[in-house]
Amino acid sequence: MGLVAAHYTVGTVAVKVVESYRSPQLVTFHNHEHSSNHDIYINGPGVTINNGLHLDDTETIQLSVPAGDEVWAISDTASNELHVLIQRM
């Protein structure tokens, strides 16, 4: 158990932002971009800008990630900053 914080640079190639873990994880995602049209999309492996959950610039959300699942992120622009805080249960 514990907290894990990380910052990622997300661009037009998908990047893994939450590793799989043996128990559920409560994950907070924050799109740290402060410019309009710097959106980030999250989903499992195979995420695209068409199938991902859309995070507007400066948006923060929290999701429960089931045990064994990963989360990936992608954007339609280069060099977007995503902050992630993971609480392992």
In this structure, which topology does domain 2-88 adopt according to CATH?
Jelly Rolls (2.60.120)
Residue with tokens 């622009």: 77
Residue 7 exposure: Cα atoms within 13 Å on the Cβ side: 5
Rounded Cα distance, 23 and 65, in Å:
9
Write the pLDDT tens digit of every residue in 47-78.
999 999 999 999 999 999 999 999 999 999 99
Question: pTM score, two decimals?
Answer: 0.94
Q: Where are the domains of the chain?
A: 2-88
